[in-house]
Amino acid sequence: MSLIEPTNYTSAMPTEPTINADQQVLNRITQSGSGKAQLKKVATEFEGIFIAKMFSLMDKSVDKEGGIFGEETKYVDNLKSYMYNEMGRSLANNPHSTFGFAKQIYAQMEKNVKD
């Protein structure tokens, strides 16, 4: 009778701590290198947050009875929050659909950034 040698299995669970989306965005900004590149990313991210907040406030102003999401629950609120954040980021990062806030912020702030 032979003994089965123990195998060194690696865990499927990540060993690094899980970070949220905001921390990931901050990490991408700080790793982007130059000050002007960081400013551009920060301005674009600000525009995305602004658009997401605008969508959220617009959603609160409409009648939700019989809407496509059905009954308002915390799960639906979480889904809509995620959806608005992604839509805001997508609109801010697309040069054809941007509102232009990031460009204005960058133009005003670039003279204050060394690079």
Q: Confirm whether 90 is domain-assigned.
A: yes
Residue 41 lies in a domain: no
Structure tokens at 97: 């659909």
Distance of CA 59 to the CA centre of its chain: 19
Q: Is 15 helix (H, G, I), strand (E, B) or coil?
A: coil
- Residue bearing tokens 């965005």: 25
Would you state the pLDDT for residue 53? Answer: 94
What is the number of domains present in the chain? 1
Q: Indicate left, alpha or beta for 26 from its phi (over 0: left) and psi (-120 to 50: alpha).
A: alpha
Give the largest CA-CA distance in the chain: 78
pLDDT tens figures, 35-77: 888 888 999 999 999 999 999 999 888 877 766 666 777 888 8
Answer whether residue 68 is part of any domain. Answer: yes
Query: Regarding predicted confidence, which is higher, 18 or 71?
Result: 71
Mean pLDDT of the chain: 80
Q: Is 29 contained in some domain?
A: no
The boundaries of the domain holding residue 67 are 48-115
pLDDT at 52 (0 to 100): 94
